[in-house]
Amino acid sequence: MAIVTVTPEEFTLVFFDRARIVEVATETADRAGLPADFAVHIGVDESSPLGRSDLVALIPPGSGDGGSVELRIEGGAFENAKRPRHLSDDAVSSSLGRLFFRVKDRISPGFADVPPDDDLDLRRQTAWDAYAVGRAARAGLVTQKARRLYHFRNRHGFSDVADRAFEALWNADDLTWADIDAICATTQATATTAEL
- At 107-161, the pLDDT tens digits run 999 999 999 999 999 999 999 999 999 999 999 998 899 999 999 999 999 999 9
CB 107 within 8 A of CB 94: no
**What's at 71, amino acid-wise?**
L
The pLDDT confidence band at residue 191, using thresholds 50, 70 and 90, is low
- At 72-115, the pLDDT tens digits run 999 999 999 999 999 999 999 999 999 999 999 999 999 999 99
Report the percent of the chain where pLDDT is more than 90. Answer: 90
**What's at 107, amino acid-wise?**
I
C-alpha to C-alpha distances, 65 to 57, 61, 62, nearest whole angstrom: 15, 6, 5
Q: Which CATH number fits domain 1-107: 3.90.550, 1.10.10, 3.40.50, 3.30.2010?
A: 3.30.2010
Domain definitions of the chain by residue range:
1-107, 114-196
pLDDT score for 190:
79
